[in-house]
A and B are shown apart, each in its own frame.
Chain A
Amino acid sequence: MDDRNDMRLTDPGDPKLVPLLRAIYAPPADEAYWEGLETRVLSLLASNRLGIVQLQSSLWSVLERWATPGLAAAGILFIAAGLFLAQRDDDELETVYEEVTEPVVVEELPGAVHVVTAPRDGSSQREAIFRYVLSH
């Protein structure tokens, strides 16, 4: 905290300006002024303290009056939010289900060889023979 080796000892400021600065910034010398200021500060604190007490009591009375309707409104909001979330979950589930069950469409690339695979159960093979017999 000791700052005695500071610039003030070597550079006390402009000797012509410092007396003028001291004159400009001189605090009131009258003791009555300080008594008056003290009274004004304490009055301000007293009115503020009173204001805080009044504000607190009025806030509590407002809270008491609105406690029941407030709780009811909060309950309704809670239920509505729950329903909304449940509905949203159902929609999401349905969307995911549709995405999984829909066939995947693969686009053909240009120049790709079209491969036709023969059915394994033999039903279409019978149809082909039948068409061949009819055409001849």
Chain B
Amino acid sequence: MTGGVRNPEEKELVGFALEGNPRGFAGLVRMHQRRAYTVARSIVLSHEDAEDAVQEGFLRAYQALDRFDPGQPFGAWLSRIVANAALDLARRKKVRNAEELSDAMPSPFRDPAEDAELRARLKSALARLPERSRAVIVLHDVEGFTHAEIGELLGIPGGTARSDLHHARQRLRGLLENMRD
């Protein structure tokens, strides 16, 4: 994540977008859609929901563009909006039956039977975690964000992200242990 670093191209695109030039916002979408997807995917339970959250996030950002401070990095601002859109979506679509969720999540690769069994349990356990716990695990362990960056993305202090990660991992391990029994 670029954090506070401002990309000159981004700055120019933000300027165009604020002037109402459609090319400006289109360039920002192209520049930030992958990170927006990553943030959304860490919170929701499926690829399809992540895509919906990304679209909703960009729409909200576009509608709130007049409130954006051009002195701030656009990516961080957008990520917070996308994270909120994903959290809203996850709360709306919260499904308590982990078995159903396990079936609903698309498998991106094939693996040996042991891994497949563990992966199925992992999906079920992840689905049982609260959205924020799931998000800190994915953003940290999968995407490699720091605690401070996760805090910035989710609108929480870095120390809270650190303790959330610790508790989320404990809970995930506990859930996996329970499933094995």
Contacts and interface: CB of A to CB of B under 8 A. Distances in A.
Contacts of B29: 38, 41-42
B33 A1 contact: no
A119 to B, nearest CB: 85
A40 B55 contact: yes
A17 interface: yes
Interface of B: 3-4, 22, 25-26, 29-30, 33-34, 37-38, 41-42, 47, 51, 54-55, 58-59, 62-63, 105, 108-109, 111, 115, 118-119, 122-123, 126, 137-138, 140-144, 146-149, 158, 162, 165-166, 169, 172-173
Contacts of B149: 1, 3
Interface stretch (A24-32, A53-61, A86-94, A120-128): A24-32
Given A24-B105, A25-B42, A41 B122 contact: no
Nearest to B165: A7
A3 B33 contact: no
B16 to A, nearest CB: 14
Interface string A5-26: 0111000111011101111111
A109 interface: no
A21 B142 contact: yes
A50 to B, nearest CB: 12
Contact of B41 (A6, A25, A38): A25
Contacts of A26: 108
Contacts of A8: 140, 144, 146-147
A79 interface: no
Given A34-B34, A38-B33, A41-B55, A7 B118 contact: no
